[in-house]
């Protein structure tokens, strides 16, 4: 698995320490183990998890601004856990409404010693943060409109951003952004050995 991860990383500009690589692999091992009982992801092959979950998550790291992030609808911790591993100086709140997923995240936090994550079980529209976030991240929402509607209360009003991980660029959704929201950037993402388009859509409150 380490060889596989290193071969994937070699096709990018991402440089990680051995400890970070080992944490990512340990996370995949836990995901694979728990998946058999809890059905956390439809991907069953650990090597495919490296491509479709790990690499797909960490390629967005260079484009994140700030140090306090919330991963909304994180599921089994995607993209929040891989990002927390490669971005140890940032803090990630991992929000999900399902107890079994949050139990898994707490176990990951314990076994990997991740001090920069906080798993929380809550529906996003009911979650009131003590401190607002530099960035709201999600790859789970059906539409940008849903993300903005349910997460509008989470980012910092001045510099906060929404980071939506998308496949094909949702031109129709971008054309219907609500007032008070502007498009900050659209970044095509290249993930080694992953077919199909991937985009990071960055939105900002005006």
Check if the beta carbon of residue 54 is closer than 8 Å to that of residue 28. Answer: yes
| Rounded Cα gap, residues 197 and 195, in angstroms | 7
Check if the beta carbon of residue 199 is closer than 8 Å to that of residue 169. Answer: yes
Q: Is 130 annotated as a binding residue?
A: no
Specify the DSSP class assigned to residue 42.
S
Q: Is 75 annotated as a binding residue?
A: no
Q: Please report, for the chain, how many H helices and E strands are present, in that order.
A: 8, 7
Q: Is 125 annotated as a binding residue?
A: yes
Check if the beta carbon of residue 177 is closer than 8 Å to that of residue 162. Answer: no
Check if the beta carbon of residue 164 is closer than 8 Å to that of residue 200. Answer: yes
| Rounded Cα gap, residues 11 and 15, in angstroms | 11
Q: Hey, which bits of the chain come out as E strands?
A: 68-72, 91-96, 117-121, 135-138, 161-166, 181-188, 199-205
Q: Is 52 annotated as a binding residue?
A: no
Q: Is 73 annotated as a binding residue?
A: yes
What's the half-sphere exposure (Cβ side, CA atoms, 13 Å) at 203? 28
Binding residues for S-adenosyl-L-methionine, as ranges, are 73, 78, 124-125, 139
Binding residues, as ranges, are 73, 78, 124-125, 139
């Amino acid at each position: 698995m380490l060889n596989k991860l290193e071969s994937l990383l070699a096709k990018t500009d991402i440089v990680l320490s051995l400890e970070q690589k080992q944490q990512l692999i340990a996370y995949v091992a836990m995901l694979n183990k728990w998946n058999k009982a809890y059905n956390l992801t439809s991907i069953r092959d650990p090597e495919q998890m490296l491509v479709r979950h790990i690499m797909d998550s960490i390629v967005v790291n260079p484009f994140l601004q700030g140090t306090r992030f919330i991963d909304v609808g994180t599921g089994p911790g995607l993209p929040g856990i891989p990002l927390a591993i490669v971005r140890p100086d940032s803090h990630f709140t991992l929000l999900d409404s399902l107890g079994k997923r949050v139990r898994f995240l707490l176990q990951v936090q314990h076994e990997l010693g991740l001090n920069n994550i906080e798993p929380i079980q809550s529906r996003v529209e009911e979650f009131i943060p003590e401190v607002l976030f530099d960035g709201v991240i999600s790859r789970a929402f059906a539409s940008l409109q849903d993300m903005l509607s349910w997460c509008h209360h989470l980012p910092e009003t001045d510099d906060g951003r929404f980071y939506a991980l998308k496949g094909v660029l949702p031109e129709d959704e971008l054309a219907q952004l609500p007032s008070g929201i502007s498009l900050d950037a659209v970044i095509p993402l290249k993930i080694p050995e992953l077919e199909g388009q991937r985009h990071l859509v960055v939105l900002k409150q005006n």
